[in-house]
């Protein structure tokens, strides 16, 4: 945990409760960041919803030619499931408005409740 925290410390707010606006370029760092946040935070969302709109991008992930964003209202429950599924591939599914831009890593390609990650 200490080694992971050293790698992602700059991505967390000073009180360790929220994730700052960050850009990441690999899945391992994303998983480490989310794992550290889960273990350290006392808050329910990755972004401070008193400061940011729920759709405000907190994490931008660029892998190859693809760019993803994770929104402020992503919850502990959603992050926990996303981390539990990290051995599965990322899949593109329809969002709640029927637009195919939402990301899941659920084995059966179901949306993850409380996890708001989208293909940009």
Percent of the chain with pLDDT over 90: 86
Distance CA 100, CA 80 (A): 23
Per-residue CA distances from 19 to 64, 75, 97 (Å):
23, 12, 27
pLDDT digits (tens, 9 = 90+) for 11-45: 999 999 999 999 999 999 999 999 999 999 999 99
Using DSSP's 3-state secondary structure scheme, residue 82 falls into: helix
Residue 1 reports pLDDT greater than 90 = no
Distance CA 19, CA 46 (A): 5
């Amino acid at each position: 945990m200490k080694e992971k925290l050293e790698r992602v410390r700059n991505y967390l707010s000073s009180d360790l409760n929220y994730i700052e606006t960050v850009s990441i370029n690999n899945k391992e760092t994303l998983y480490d960041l989310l794992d550290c946040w889960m273990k350290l935070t006392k808050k329910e969302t990755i972004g401070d919803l008193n400061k940011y709109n729920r759709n405000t991008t907190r994490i931008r992930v660029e892998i190859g030619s693809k760019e993803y964003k994770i929104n402020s209202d992503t919850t502990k429950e959603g992050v926990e499931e996303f981390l539990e599924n990290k051995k599965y591939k990322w899949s593109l599914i329809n969002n709640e408005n029927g637009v195919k831009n939402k990301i899941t890593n659920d084995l059966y390609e179901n949306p993850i409740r409380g996890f708001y990650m989208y293909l940009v």
